[in-house]
Chain A
Amino acid sequence: MTQNKADLLQGTLDLLILKSLQNEPMHGFGISLRIQQMSKEMLTVEQGSLYPALYRLEDQGWIKSEWGVSENNRKAKFYTLTASGRKQLTVEEQSWAKLSTAINFVLGNA
């Protein structure tokens, strides 16, 4: 029940999900693996946060879902980035870049 301590910054999970879907449609488990890989195992996405986030993004129209067949031949729900999702990804990437630059300035690393 307790929330994860490895808290991602509010809103960054959305960015990570959109980014992981940039190249190909994926199902939920795949997304969580992808994020893990892309972050060189430094980030693990809690399922408890992942699925609500997926539903939220779908509700906002940034991703869409359809049923397909998974690698182990099971029925699976695949998520695809929509056109507005791509736009949103650009926006979020930019704002993240700005934020991280700013934080680096603050920390005196730049």
Chain B
Amino acid sequence: MLFRKDKLDAEMAEEMRLHLELQAERNRAAGMDAAEARYAAQRQFGNVASMQERCREQRAGRLGVWLEQLGRDLRQGVRQLASTPGTTVLAVLSLAVGIGINATIFSVMDGAFLRPLPIHDPETIVKFERPRFTFQELQQLQAEMNSVGGLAGSWRINRLLQGQDRTELVPARVVTSNYFEVLGVAPAAGRLFGSRSADLAEPIVVISHALWQRRFGGDPGVVGETIVLNERPATVVGVAAKGFVGEDRLPTTEVWFPAQTSGGGATTRRDFSVFGRMAPGVSAAQVRAEAGTIFTRPEWGAVGANRFGERVRVVTERESRMDHGGRLTYITGPVVGLVLVVACANVSCLLLGRYEERRREIAVRLALGASRGRVMRYLLIEAALLAALGAALGLVLAWWSLRILPGILPVTLAMFTPDVQVDLRVLGLTLSLAVAATLAFGVMPAWRASQLDVSAMLKSDVGHLGRTPSRNVLVIAQVAIAMTFLAVAALFVRGFLTGAARDLGLGERNLLLAYAVPEGATRRDFDTLLDELRGAVAGLPGAQATTVANSVIGSRRTLSVRLPGADKAELVACNQVDHGFFRVVGVPLTQGRDFTAQDNRAGGRVVIVSAAMARRFWPGESPVGQTVFIGRDELLPREVVGVVGDVSDLTERDPATLPFFYLPLRQERTGDWLVIVRTQGDPGALAAPLRDRLRRMETPTATFMIETLNGQLRTALMPQWIGAWFGGVLGGLAFLLAVSGLYGVVAYAVARRTRELGIRIALGAEPRSATRLVLRQGLMLAGIGVACGLLLAVAVGAALRSTLYGISPADPWALAGAGLAVLTVAALASWLPARRAAKVDPMVALRAE
């Protein structure tokens, strides 16, 4: 089509020239002189170029012309972008950041919640949520329900996977033997469970594809191998399909055991979460209806509604995913979307400024007969080019941040980051974001640019794209959004700092904590093992003191406490500790004595209480020597032997209001041991030597999750930590964009008012007053933005109150700090270009026009 263009154009020109000549002849015949006749003919004919353009559009089909023009506009657009590299790079970077962060978050959310499970036809899976079932109940339900083809069940456990070099905690599931069959999962290697799996004498397991890759390097020889889980050997019979991590994606499952369904054990325990495959042609509503009638029968009383009054809820696989993460997606989506909005506003500003500089060129195009639509399209193509570049770079950014993200996140959070990647779904999202962005930032400037008053524009140089309220509004919006993010981040930082700095009741902070699992330990020799363990750690260089407990701070257990003679018991949190605990962690012993090695199962039944518990149960008297019944099954009372200081439970609550008590570890039947080591210097440095020392003990002891006390406290403050980071990173990005927008507006104001400033200076105004004039404009915009942003932040903070750790959403420190920081940087961003105003040379400024 293109090669014909020149010939056709020449013919068209020829045809129109003839028309003009004939018209002129006619005019002459009517009595005009030659020049007048020609001029009149031209006037009558009108705009030749514009008509040729429209003729071309008529011919050769509209699509062809359209493509041809598109090609030309594209080339022109590329040339334009290349001619102003600074603006182009800024715009592309803005968009890349906006699109990149959206693609990243979408990838994570998609990987975690939005994507359907990698199982056969996930649409037809229904889950029976909340109440758990025994195996018999599961079978009974299977027999009663017609709308569900196959019912399977599972329950979650954690197992320590022991290995040569490391022991790790792997999330596991005990499943009915038809589990994989109902879900429609294929093995990646070996086989999955069959109907008789449960009855095999030898324990068998299926492992996940990820575990297979991680621990066994994807070696197919793993099938038939024996792995040790919680000191019990089990044979790997197969590997599940790649990507399959259980019927819930979070938390993931890495090992599957068949449930023992004959004989005792799992059969009588109400452990199973149940799901099923709908019968062909049945809808979820029908299953729901059938379940409704079944569970209201009296024999289902125990399951139909559990002791918390929750009723069985039939949900589809999709609903279940949305229940878990949908809310998070709906919150984070718009939040990161805001960053893209800020980026688009920024690019809009840049484009407005750029079109302003090109208003002559645009006016010439319009004068030469380009239609408004044509000019708009031409400008929009430039915008689309920017968006395409931004999207491409954004994808690279997303890919890169997904790679480094697991490394930056705290361990516990990284564990929940599923296998995410940039895939077609993410590409699709990015593409639609780019289109949306083009429309968002391109249309308004292009529309305004094409509304030029051509004749005014060409006659003089004073024509503008109107005044610039839209740019100002854009900048205010940018600053406001960035301010909101930053202020909320500041609130979280304050919460985090307050939480981290509060008095926990522990005198010592240099503590190393290691969960220990002695191999082959039986409960008989706990005492010996404890002594061996403590002895092994005591010899470690750098270790000051050692003890063992169930936890270091807070409680993993709550027991009922009843005074003799009282008929009501009260639930109180407790910890099980070995002797020396209080000295090691720095909790003061205010009365009585600490536990000793003799407070074991052979010794007397004793308990140590906290000051808060003493005040609550024995107000006004000394608890030492008093007796108390602890736990539901205990027939004999315990004697209080000591009182210790109060300790926080890691929530906002005041430790002095939290009753707490301690039982001697040696009197408990728990193998759940936390080795606590107080160190001289940085506790983290002792982690490797400690692991090594315990492994080489006479009774080899595996450790997992070795962490410092401070690390554990940080984990407890995770919501604040995430809030601070998320808000800070997004706010920082948004703020960078806003600052560049502000800079652009002020710089542009200086450029546009050069003449006015020149006159002012020529008339004797001090150069500095010119600076002030422009600076004031920038600060005004920033000020309005900051004010709006702070108001929004208070509103957002109020909604997030529960995670702010005792900080008021209107916390003056956080808000004033963030506001001041933003204003300062905004002032700097305005001052830099404003300085140029003072340097305006009146002569140059006036001549330039």
List residues 41-98 of chain A with CB under 8 A from any CB of chain B. 46-48, 51-56, 58-59, 70, 72, 74-77
User: What separation, in Å, do the CA atoms of A59 and B55 have in the docked complex?
Assistant: 11
Shortest distance from the beta carbon of A4 to any chain B beta carbon, whole Å: 9
Find out whether the CB atom of A29 lies under 8 angstroms from the CB atom of B47.
no
Find out whether the CB atom of B55 lies under 8 angstroms from the CB atom of A1.
no
Q: Does chain A have a CB within 8 A of B50?
A: yes
> What are the residues of chain A within 8 A of B60 when measuring CB–CB?
59
Contact of A29 among B12, B23, B46 (CB under 8 A): B23
Shortest distance from the beta carbon of A3 to any chain B beta carbon, whole Å: 10
Find out whether the CB atom of A1 lies under 8 angstroms from the CB atom of B47.
yes
Contact of A28 among B19, B44, B50, B54 (CB under 8 A): B19
Known: A47-B45, A77-B11. A70 touches B55 (CB 8 A): no
> What are the residues of chain B within 8 A of A75 when measuring CB–CB?
14, 18
Contact with A along B8-48 (1 / 0, CB 8 A): 00011011101101110100000000000000000011110
User: What separation, in Å, do the CA atoms of A49 and B44 have in the docked complex?
Assistant: 12
Q: Does chain A have a CB within 8 A of B685?
A: no
Find out whether the CB atom of B22 lies under 8 angstroms from the CB atom of A55.
no
Shortest distance from the beta carbon of A101 to any chain B beta carbon, whole Å: 31
Contact with A along B509-552 (1 / 0, CB 8 A): 00000000000000000000000000000000000000000000
Smallest CB gap from A44: residue in B: B44
> What are the residues of chain B within 8 A of A28 when measuring CB–CB?
15-16, 18-19
Known: A47-B44, A48-B47, A75-B14. A55 touches B21 (CB 8 A): no
Find out whether the CB atom of B19 lies under 8 angstroms from the CB atom of A47.
yes
Find out whether the CB atom of B59 lies under 8 angstroms from the CB atom of A59.
yes
Interface of A is mostly: helix
User: What separation, in Å, do the CA atoms of A56 and B11 have in the docked complex?
Assistant: 16
Find out whether the CB atom of A59 lies under 8 angstroms from the CB atom of B58.
yes
Find out whether the CB atom of A52 lies under 8 angstroms from the CB atom of B18.
no
Find out whether the CB atom of B46 lies under 8 angstroms from the CB atom of A48.
yes
> What are the residues of chain A within 8 A of B15 when measuring CB–CB?
27-28, 51, 76-77
Known: A1-B50, A75-B14, A76-B15. A52 touches B57 (CB 8 A): yes
> What are the residues of chain B within 8 A of A29 when measuring CB–CB?
18-19, 22-23
> What are the residues of chain B within 8 A of A59 when measuring CB–CB?
58-61
Q: Does chain A have a CB within 8 A of B51?
A: yes
Contact with A along B756-784 (1 / 0, CB 8 A): 00000000000000000000000000000
Smallest CB gap from A30: residue in B: B22
Q: Does chain A have a CB within 8 A of B369?
A: yes
User: What separation, in Å, do the CA atoms of A48 and B371 have in the docked complex?
Assistant: 14
User: What separation, in Å, do the CA atoms of A1 and B454 have in the docked complex?
Assistant: 11
Known: A29-B18, A29-B22. A52 touches B54 (CB 8 A): yes
> What are the residues of chain B within 8 A of A72 when measuring CB–CB?
21-22, 25
Query: Which of B15, B25, B369 has the most chain A CB atoms inside 10 A of its CB?
Result: B15
User: What separation, in Å, do the CA atoms of A63 and B174 have in the docked complex?
Assistant: 82
> What are the residues of chain A within 8 A of B22 when measuring CB–CB?
29, 70, 72
> What are the residues of chain B within 8 A of A55 when measuring CB–CB?
55-56, 58-59
Find out whether the CB atom of B18 lies under 8 angstroms from the CB atom of A74.
yes
Smallest CB gap from A71: residue in B: B22
User: What separation, in Å, do the CA atoms of A75 and B54 have in the docked complex?
Assistant: 23
> What are the residues of chain A within 8 A of B50 when measuring CB–CB?
1, 48
User: What separation, in Å, do the CA atoms of A72 and B21 have in the docked complex?
Assistant: 10
Contact of B46 among A47, A56, A58 (CB under 8 A): A47
Interface residues of A (CB under 8 A from B): 1, 27-29, 46-48, 51-56, 58-59, 70, 72, 74-77
Interface residues of B (CB under 8 A from A): 11-12, 14-16, 18-19, 21-23, 25, 44-47, 50-51, 54-61, 369
**What are 12 A-B contacts with C-beta separation under 8 Å?**
A1-B369, A27-B19, A47-B45, A47-B51, A51-B15, A52-B57, A53-B58, A54-B55, A56-B58, A56-B59, A70-B18, A74-B18
